[in-house]
């Protein structure tokens, strides 16, 4: 289980770097969703299922939905 945790932490660092480097906003949102899902997995490994469920629901679910809707609305605005 320790090797799996290390791999997840490396993916977490990779996601955080990728989200700040990526120029495409939709790709950044998808990477951020992956970051939240990895965090949910790590919370479950740390025996905190309540935090894992909250991270999955709010971080990967609602926040991603709000980001996508905002991106759709911003791209729809013509200047």
pLDDT of residue 49: 93
68: left (phi over 0), alpha (psi -120 to 50) or beta: alpha
pLDDT of residue 74: 86
pLDDT at 79 over 60: no
pLDDT of residue 1: 73
pLDDT digits 0-9 by tens, 15-71:
999 999 999 989 999 999 999 999 999 999 999 999 999 999 998 899 999 999 999
- State pTM to two decimals: 0.84
Asked if residue 59 lies in contact with residue 39, where contact means CB atoms within 8 angstroms, the answer is yes
């Amino acid at each position: 289980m320790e090797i799996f945790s290390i791999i997840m932490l490396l993916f977490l660092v990779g996601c955080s770097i990728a989200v700040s480097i990526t120029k495409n906003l939709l790709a950044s949102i998808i990477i951020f969703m992956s970051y939240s899902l990895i965090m949910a997995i790590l919370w479950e490994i740390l025996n905190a299922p309540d935090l894992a469920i909250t991270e999955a629901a709010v971080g990967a679910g609602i926040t991603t939905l709000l980001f996508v809707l905002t991106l759709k609305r911003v791209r729809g605005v013509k200047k």
